[in-house]
Structure 1
Amino acid sequence: MPTPTKGPRLGGGPAHERLILANLATALFEHGRITTTVTKAKRVQPLAERLITFAKRGDLHARRRVLTVVRDKGVVHTLFTEIAPAVAERNGGYTRVTKVGNRKGDNAPMAVIELVTEPVSPKQAVVKEAEKAAKKAAPKKAAKVEEPTVEETVETPAEAEVVEAAAEETKTEETKEA
């Protein structure tokens, strides 16, 4: 029996593994969140995200590709009509895996995998863009500001206070821009 391409083996063979992952994805779309082992949750996450990406496209070909994995037409309908519009603004990261502790019977590490249906905050996107712009601008400004050398030492304490005040102002301006 061939080994899987990524991650640990879940079933006895590749066909059984595909069935396990398909059933986990179906249950996830049907219930919104499921509790399973950490290994299974990590293995089903890329499959579920890919199926949601197909559902966001919404055309007939995408629906047929999802139906090859998820055999329940009702769940596919839910995926295309409810889940895909809820995550339409999101560019990935449709699922979240949270570890919840060990199972009592066999001490297996358990996790909850759930759909992330909260809308993406536009404020977060603006803040991220501003941080990127600040990081790009920061090296340019740092090159322009020159530090005083040893030769340019200040002789009187009054001049030293003026130089320190000017240095603090430039630092605060740089932090405001960043």
Structure 2
Amino acid sequence: MRHRRRSRVLGRSPSHRKALLKNLASAIFLTERDAELDANKPKIKGRIVTTLHKAKEVRSLVEKTITIAKKALIAQEAAREHGTTADRQSDAWKTWRKSDKWQKWAAAMAPVVNARRRCIQMLGDKQAVKLLFSEVAPRFKDRNGGYTRVLRLAKPRLGDAGIRGILEFTGVRDRKVQKSEKPAFESA
């Protein structure tokens, strides 16, 4: 019986499985980077191809990190109100630092810093977290979940005939349902 068994084992030890899921989750965020000069650039942004079971398992991790980043965006907007555009260690920055606005800014930025640290812990890649907070989370600001989709590929993997699947972000290549037009019958 598999009572209260939450996740798939994927034929790995717990530490290996955790590392695999971290790498897959950070890989989907790293496909969003601008990698024109990169030798190993992604073919399509926001999409990775892996086995179907791995894609289904990593989906929850990706969606959790996006939700954390979305909640941090609200705090980041509140912090901008109290922030400054002065250069660091300049006279204007030093007076802002001594003022009451700095404490309000620091209190508003605390949840953002906490969210970034949680995402770094979950993903294990600082560049992926940077892309998550700058590009991916603002894209899903108005969406309440369902940030990714898993598609099954018909063609199995060549070495071991494993079932392959695609994990991709929603909203980019969505199918648009169009209503067909009524035919216009001409009267003869």
TM-score, normalised to structure 2, is 0.58
Structure 1 vs Structure 2 CA RMSD:
2.3
- Give the equivalent residue in structure 2 for 1:51: 65
Matched, 1:17 2:31: no
Question: 1:135-174, aligned counterparts within 5 Å?
Answer: none
Q: CA shift at 1:105, angstroms? A: 1.7
- Give the equivalent residue in structure 1 for 2:163: 109
Structure whose residues are more often helix by fraction: 1
Q: Percent identity?
A: 42
Structure 2, unaligned runs of 5 or more: 32-45, 73-111, 175-188
- Give the equivalent residue in structure 2 for 1:161: none
| 1:114-157 deviations in Å (ceiling 9; x for gaps) | 0114499xxxxxxxxxxxxxxxxxxxxxxxxxxxxxxxxxxxxx
Q: Which structure's relative contact order is higher, taking Cα pairs within 8 Å and 6+ residues apart?
A: 2
- Name the CA distance, whole Å, in 1 between partners of 2:65 and 2:11: 21
Structure 1, unaligned runs of 5 or more: 121-178
- Name the CA distance, whole Å, in 2 between partners of 1:119 and 1:111: 16
Count how many residue pairs are aligned between Structure 1 and Structure 2.
119
TM-score, normalised to structure 1, is 0.62
- Name the CA distance, whole Å, in 2 between partners of 1:117 and 1:80: 17
Amino acid at match of 1:26: S
Question: 1:27-176, aligned counterparts within 5 Å?
Answer: 27-31=27-31, 32-58=46-72, 59-101=112-154, 102-118=156-172
Structure 1 segments (4+ residues) deviating >4 Å: none
Q: Are 1:11 and 1:20, in contact at CA under 8 Å, matched by a contact in 2? A: no
Taking a change above 3 Å as real, the CA distance of residues 11 and 80 of structure 1, as seen in their structure-2 partners, is farther
| 1:20-52 deviations in Å (ceiling 9; x for gaps) | 000000001111110000100000001110010
Q: CA shift at 1:7, angstroms? A: 3.2
| 1:48-87 deviations in Å (ceiling 9; x for gaps) | 1001001112211111100102222111111001000001
**Structure possessing the higher radius of gyration over alpha carbons:** 1
